[in-house]
Structure 1
Amino acid sequence: MPTELEELVGFLAHPNPQIRLVAIENLVQFSTVQPSIFKKDQLLPIKHLKFLIRDQPKIAEHALTILINLTGEQDVLENVATDDRFLGIALGLLSDPKEQNANLIAMLLANLSKYDGLKTLSTRKQAPPESAARLGSDDLVLNQLMDLFVKGADGSYNPHADFDYLAYVCADLSQHASVRKYMVTPQAYDDVVPLSKILVFTEHKSDVRRKGVASAIKNVAFEVDSHADLLDEGKINVLPYVLLPIMGGEEYDEEEMADMLPDLQLLPPDKTRDPEAGIVQTHVETLTLLTTTREGRELMRRVKVYPVIRETHARVEDEGVQEACERLVQVLMRDEAEDGEMKRIEELDDDDRIEEV
């Protein structure tokens, strides 16, 4: 005999929308405390939930919330992330400027991005809906996601969404080499490097945006062949965007200040560094990665990165931040004549690329 909960799950496919709504409203709470009830009959309830994201807005909202909770389970994650038809529907809804549940879709996509197979988004193409014409992207899904993240900030594209959680999508996908290559390659439709579009969000009111963007920059910094472009002021120019968030209103002596990057000079006394220690640590680790080449190390010495790290170490009472600062200082203070060209950064390995979001 099926239990009452199992009967309730069965009503997800009921033809009457009022019954579906009552059922799904009562099931949301069980998606965290009793996920097994959604795994019956070879995940048939998951199939129903995926269908319901196109239902009336309230039903779709609950369906998405349940899917977000359940994709923490590996079997559900794989089922949803490998459903090509569902991905196409979700991506189409996400780029619809009138979609009321766009933020929840972005959150679900952030979960799905943890599945390695989703790196295929780097080549996936899909025409955005006609209602999204002002997005201005081409048919490459990653370009659509990037433009949604940039143009949709603070509800400027869709009044129902800010698309903050696409920062986590960017962070997780950038662990893959194909996506990192995409991030540093000018796109044909606008001749802009995707990474350069998101750098401004290293200083943003949203913790989610700052954290995701910081992790994405760090992951891209593993591409040593791209370091020259990353550091070039006339190209991607990541350095000021990585340094500004870790700087407060500290005073530096005139000699140090004179050699700093122009964007870092004469900051107001009320300038605050990022309040999240984890984000500060990520930026410091990015700087360490960017010292992999001799050119990178010499640039950082020339623009006085050391004083910034010195102040960060002194003022951020966090063990992870202080250890990251010490590792960077060891590299910057090292004698080049003694050590020669360093081909690798020993202190950071691939497992350090991104902390779980």
Structure 2
Amino acid sequence: MPTELEELVEFLHHGNTQIRQVAAEHLVGYSQADVPLFKRNQLEPVKDLKLLIKDYAPIAKNAFTILINISSDTEVLKDLAKDDAFLEMLLSRITNPKEPNANEIAMLLANMAKDDSLQRVLELKRDIPKELSKSTWAMDQLMDCFVKGAEGAYNQHADFDYLSYFFADLAKFPKGREYLTTPQEHDANIIPITKIQVFTDHASHIRRLGVASTIKNVCFHVPAHPVLLSNLPSDPNLPPPSIGANLLPYILLPLMGPEEYSDEDTEGMLDELQLLEPDKEREKDVEIMKAHLESLLLLSTTQDGRDVLRRIKVYPIVRECHLHTDDEGVREACDRVVQIIMRKEEGEEEDIPDGVGGDSGRMVELKDEEEDEDEKIVDIL
């Protein structure tokens, strides 16, 4: 005999609208605690839920919520991510300026991006939503949703913040990193990462965290480091090697507070980082701070990267960040960055300034290379 819950799941495809609505509403709570309930009969409830997102508004919203919750299950995730028709429906809906569940779709897409198969969205062309974009590429359209749709500017029902998590998950894959760091010829040679990096100081915590995670994942793509580190403007008349993303200000500004720096510290510092307002606040979320510090660490994996970080005076910024935080994780991340960018290169003298803190006058005590092989600088070619 089926249990009451199993009977309730069966009502998801009932012909009576009110019964479907009651079933979906009551099952929302169980979608987090009892995922196997939705995997019965070869995922039949999942198939029902895919149809219910086209149903009346209250039913559709609950169906989206259930799908978001149960997509944490690997089997359900694969079923959703590999369904081409379902993906196209989500893309069609999220790019519609009147879609009431656009934020839920963004959350579901972010979950689906954890499956390898969703990399195909990077090579997917579809009809152009004329009110939103000029591009036939699905990824460009999602970028436009995120950028143009902030704070309800495109769709009054949505802010599209959770698409930042979608970008972060796609950036875990090589194809995703390549897309985000490659100038797009069809888009005036704009580098996609430049469209979202400007949100590292946005009011939305979700945006800031998702964008910081995206940037960190992109920084694993070492061949793109010259483009990421360059502050040359994106000029469609210049060949791609001459185009820069100017990423560093967007990583460093969240790490900075209202501190004043000496003339020696500011000489060579990026213009965007000087003369900040006296009420400038440092990022409060320690996970976001650690993500930015890890991005700096990744950008220092080549000598050219370390040279740039030294030249623009990243050290004083990290020093002040270290001094003004009590979180051990952030302090350790600061230590790691300093160990790398201020350690001597082969044939050079030690280059860590005094006055950073601690008994030794330094942020951390450097280890001899013989003491710890992990402390050695190894260039990534």
TM-score > 0.5 by shorter chain: yes
Contact conserved, 1:294 with 1:342, CA < 8 A, in 2?
no
| SS of alignment partner, residue 20 of structure 1 | helix
Q: Which residue of 2 aligns with 1:350?
A: none
TM-score (norm 2): 0.87
In the alignment, structure 1 residue 150 sits paired with structure 2 residue 186: no
Q: Which residue of 2 aligns with 1:298?
A: 307
Amino acid paired to 2:143: M
Q: Which residue of 1 aligns with 2:178?
A: 181
Amino acid paired to 2:50: K
Amino acid paired to 2:312: V
Which blocks of at least 5 consecutive residues in structure 2 are unaligned? Answer: 233-243, 349-375
After superposition, the C-alpha distances for 1:238-264 in whole angstroms (9 at most, x for unaligned) are 010100011011121122123211011
Contact conserved, 1:12 with 1:23, CA < 8 A, in 2?
yes
Q: Which residue of 2 aligns with 1:205?
A: 203
Contact conserved, 1:294 with 1:341, CA < 8 A, in 2?
no
CA distance in 2, matches of 1:46, 1:296: 48
Compute the displacement of 1:23 (Å): 1.4
Q: Which residue of 2 aligns with 1:233?
A: 231
After superposition, the C-alpha distances for 1:257-288 in whole angstroms (9 at most, x for unaligned) are 23211011011121111110011011011111
Amino acid paired to 2:106: A
Amino acid paired to 2:152: G
| SS of alignment partner, residue 69 of structure 2 | helix
Segment of structure 1 superposing worse, 165-174 or 205-214: 205-214
Amino acid paired to 2:271: P
| SS of alignment partner, residue 138 of structure 1 | coil
Compute the displacement of 1:187 (Å): 2.0
Percent identity reads 51
Amino acid paired to 1:173: L
| SS of alignment partner, residue 301 of structure 1 | helix
CA distance in 1, matches of 2:42, 2:64: 20
Higher relative contact order (CA 8 A, sep 6+): 1
Segment of structure 1 superposing worse, 186-195 or 83-92: 186-195
The structure with more radius of gyration: 2
Which blocks of at least 5 consecutive residues in structure 1 are unaligned? Answer: 346-357
Compute the displacement of 1:148 (Å): 0.6
Q: Which residue of 1 aligns with 2:168?
A: 171
TM-score (norm 1): 0.92
| SS of alignment partner, residue 267 of structure 2 | helix
CA distance in 2, matches of 1:199, 1:236: 9
In the alignment, structure 1 residue 104 sits paired with structure 2 residue 134: no
Normalized per residue, which structure has more helix?
Answer: 1
Amino acid paired to 1:177: P
| Number of aligned positions between the proteins | 342
Contact conserved, 1:277 with 1:316, CA < 8 A, in 2?
no
After superposition, the C-alpha distances for 1:128-147 in whole angstroms (9 at most, x for unaligned) are 4xxx3121241211111111
Amino acid paired to 2:205: D
Q: Which residue of 2 aligns with 1:312?
A: 321
Give me the CA root mean square deviation. Answer: 1.6
After superposition, the C-alpha distances for 1:24-82 in whole angstroms (9 at most, x for unaligned) are 11111111122222111111011000111111111110000000110111111111111
CA distance in 2, matches of 1:246, 1:5: 50
CA distance in 1, matches of 2:302, 2:30: 52
CA distance in 2, matches of 1:258, 1:329: 18
Q: Which residue of 2 aligns with 1:352?
A: none
Segment of structure 1 superposing worse, 314-323 or 48-57: 314-323
Match of 1:322 among 318, 331, 336: 331
Q: Which residue of 1 aligns with 2:345?
A: 336
CA distance in 2, matches of 1:341, 1:314: 25
Contact conserved, 1:258 with 1:265, CA < 8 A, in 2?
no
CA distance in 1, matches of 2:199, 2:32: 32
Correspondence 1:75-154 to 2 at 5 A? 75-128=75-128, 132-154=129-151
Amino acid paired to 2:207: R
